Amino acid sequence: MTPPKPPSRPDRVSMLRYLRLFRADILSAQPARLYRAWMAEFRTPFFRSYLVNDPQIVRTVLRERPADFPKSGRVAEGLRPLLGRSVFLTNGAEWQRQRRIIDPAFEGGRLRETFPAMLAAAGAARDRLERRVGEVVEIEAETSHAAADVIFRTLFSLPIEDALARRVFDAFRAYQRSQPILNLAAFLPLPAWVPRFHRREARVAARLIRTLIAELVARRRDEIAAGTAPDDLATKIMTTPDPETGETFSAAEMVDQVAIFFLAGHETSASALAWALWLVASHPDWQDRLAEEARLIGDGAAFGDVARLRLARDVFRETLRLYPPVPMMVRETACSERFRRRAVPEGAQIVLSPWHQHRHERIWSDPDGFDPGRWRTEEGRRCGREAYMPFSAGPRVCPGAGFAMVEGPLLLAVILRDFRLSVLPGELPEPIAFLTVRSRNGIRLRVERR
Ligand code: HEM
């Protein structure tokens, strides 16, 4: 079964129609030619935007000259009420300093230390599904719960059952419902002075989330001072001094960073896991192979065991290719450029689209097919190096990439070891870009004991 892909719009539509389509969903608002084009220009009355698929230009923007392509202020605008000055939104020296403090918390050795917390969250997800055997389950709700639990346990040593953790999770859900599309502002052809998108409910939810996180951070500061803090990611980040200035994050800065860890860390993993489970449910041969491999992971598994889950890793990689949770990223040109013999003015929006690059018809063979085996072929590996960026690339690469590549295969293994999932006849999920790539009406799967 070919995995679902959103319909494309006709090549030429009026600006008004484009806007309407855009508001509904950025993926289906795009024309089919973007799956073949190396570069496309969108002229609007107020600014120019360029979607770039050419691997060499993407390399220039992300790896070779990232300082000339800072994050777009238009995207930051929509997320500011929730994320303040978090590492996701800053640029230049402020961003560099934040990464110097954050990056060590996600290094390999630290990942090993957070593994028991991750395994416990995977076990809890398994137990929740155990209570639903024989039922049809909305799997996105389950993976959101599981991914949030992973973040709370690894960051703050709290299971999601903790009252404060639960309130943060609920407030995030309210926020997501009121603020549907992450990068919308960056594409919309409106000048910066037009007020938009800080809808009242989103602002209220953002304020509540930040109040609750401030409480978690204050509690942890007291524990660090008293010498009773658990040795988790929050403690690590709050006690790591910037190697250049010797300063640590202030409590207020830490609230901004925790907000992005929750948002970037749980929404994305939840999206990827839900699609992965749908893909294996619709490809029972792969599901059986993963279940067999998953026997390598017992309840007392060690960090090193995850490296043996090679098939689960290939399935997770292939899921991130077909359904990259962050479908598009936006940068701005700091000076004028020349791309593919075209002049690109200063202040233009550069859209990098994992969604289109991963399904590019001139790069991948069988671009829309689910084929985890491609990652074992020379061609698949070459395409992976050239045109695969679910975690972005270069200095602004996702700091949680290593974390996510342990979490995803581990959760797949722990779930598929014990349960058999099947799709419902005639029911196909419909990909749509909310905050991340989700299914318009959720993903329903039948859960049976294996
Ligand atoms: C499958 C899971 C994940 C995917 C696909 C993913 C993807 C991405 C992508 C594409 C970006 C770059 C966005 C841009 O440049 O506009 C990013 C940034 C980021 N991600 Fe992730 N991410 C995942 C999991 C995580 C986790 C688990 C964490 C933390 C616990 C995390 C924390 C962050 C942070 C802090 C940034 C901002 C980095 C910066 O701008 O310097 N992510 N992620």
Best probe residue, ligand 1, of 253, 268, 316 (max atoms within 8 Å of C-beta)? 268
- Which runs of consecutive H residues, i.e. helices, occur in 323-374? 354-358
Residue 434 predicted with pLDDT over 80: no
The per-residue pLDDT for range 37-49, each reduced to its tens digit, is: 999 998 766 667 8
Which band of pLDDT confidence, cut at 50, 70 and 90, is reported for residue 433? confident
pLDDT at 46 (0 to 100): 65
> Which are the contacts of 266, defined by CB distance < 8 A and separation ≥ 6?
144, 147, 148, 150, 151, 172
CB 152 within 8 A of CB 162: yes
The per-residue pLDDT for range 406-420, each reduced to its tens digit, is: 999 999 999 999 999
Mean pLDDT of 212-216: 93
Mean pLDDT of 19-27: 69
**Which secondary-structure segment (H or E) carries 449?**
strand 444-449
Mean pLDDT of 306-318: 97
Which band of pLDDT confidence, cut at 50, 70 and 90, is reported for residue 172? confident
Mean pLDDT of 306-310: 96
The strands making up 349-352's β-sheet, listed across from edge to edge, are: 39-43, 48-52, 349-352, 329-332
- What span, in angstroms and rounded, lies between the C-alpha atoms of 19 and 25? 10
Nearest CA to ligand 1 atom 9: 391
- What span, in angstroms and rounded, lies between the C-alpha atoms of 351 and 332? 9
pLDDT at 183 (0 to 100): 43
Nearest CA to ligand 1 atom 6: 391
The neighbouring-strand residues paired with 39 are 52
Residue 13 predicted with pLDDT over 80: no
pLDDT at 361 (0 to 100): 97
- What span, in angstroms and rounded, lies between the C-alpha atoms of 18 and 22? 6
Quote the crossing angle between the two packed helices 108-130 and 401-418, to the nearest 10°.
30
Residue 325 predicted with pLDDT over 80: yes
Best probe residue, ligand 1, of 187, 398, 437 (max atoms within 8 Å of C-beta)? 398
In 3D space, the residue among 41, 10, 55 whose CA is nearest the CA of residue 360 turns out to be: 55
pLDDT at 19 (0 to 100): 67
Q: Residues with beta carbon inside 6 Å of ligand 1?
A: 87-88, 99, 260-261, 264-265, 268-269, 272, 325-326, 329, 390-392, 396, 398-400, 403-404
- What span, in angstroms and rounded, lies between the C-alpha atoms of 373 and 286? 10
Cα-flanking dihedrals φ and ψ of residue 409, to 5°? -60, -35
Structure tokens at 148: 């949030």
Indicate which atom in ligand 1 lies nearest the CA of residue 330: 16
Mean pLDDT, the chain, integer: 90
Residue 177 predicted with pLDDT over 80: no
Which band of pLDDT confidence, cut at 50, 70 and 90, is reported for residue 395? very high
Nearest CA to ligand 1 atom 19: 398
In 3D space, the residue among 431, 54, 92, 147 whose CA is nearest the CA of residue 275 turns out to be: 431
Q: How remote is the CA of residue 256 from the centroid of ligand 1, in Å?
A: 15
pLDDT at 343 (0 to 100): 95
Residue 286 predicted with pLDDT over 70: yes
- What span, in angstroms and rounded, lies between the C-alpha atoms of 401 and 390? 9
pLDDT at 36 (0 to 100): 96
pLDDT at 113 (0 to 100): 92
Cα-flanking dihedrals φ and ψ of residue 285, to 5°? -60, -45
**Widest distance between CA atoms in the chain:** 64
Nearest CA to ligand 1 atom 30: 265
Which band of pLDDT confidence, cut at 50, 70 and 90, is reported for residue 312? very high
pLDDT at 203 (0 to 100): 80
CB 385 within 8 A of CB 251: no
Cα-flanking dihedrals φ and ψ of residue 277, to 5°? -70, -35
- What span, in angstroms and rounded, lies between the C-alpha atoms of 364 and 358? 8
Q: How remote is the CA of residue 376 from the centroid of ligand 1, in Å?
A: 25
Indicate which atom in ligand 1 lies nearest the CA of residue 257: 35
Q: How remote is the CA of residue 185 from the centroid of ligand 1, in Å?
A: 19
E strands of 174-318, at which residues?
none
Q: How remote is the CA of residue 421 from the centroid of ligand 1, in Å?
A: 28
Which band of pLDDT confidence, cut at 50, 70 and 90, is reported for residue 199? low
pLDDT at 186 (0 to 100): 45
Residue 192 predicted with pLDDT over 70: no
Q: How remote is the CA of residue 20 from the centroid of ligand 1, in Å?
A: 29
**More confident call, 107 vs 182:** 107
Going from the C-alpha of 442 to that of each of 206, 209, 434, 449, the distances in angstroms are: 24, 24, 12, 22
pLDDT at 23 (0 to 100): 64
The per-residue pLDDT for range 216-263, each reduced to its tens digit, is: 999 999 999 999 999 999 999 999 999 999 999 999 999 999 989 988
- Dihedral sign from CA coordinates of 182, 184, 187, 189: negative
Chain centroid to CA 206 = 19
Q: How remote is the CA of residue 397 from the centroid of ligand 1, in Å?
A: 7
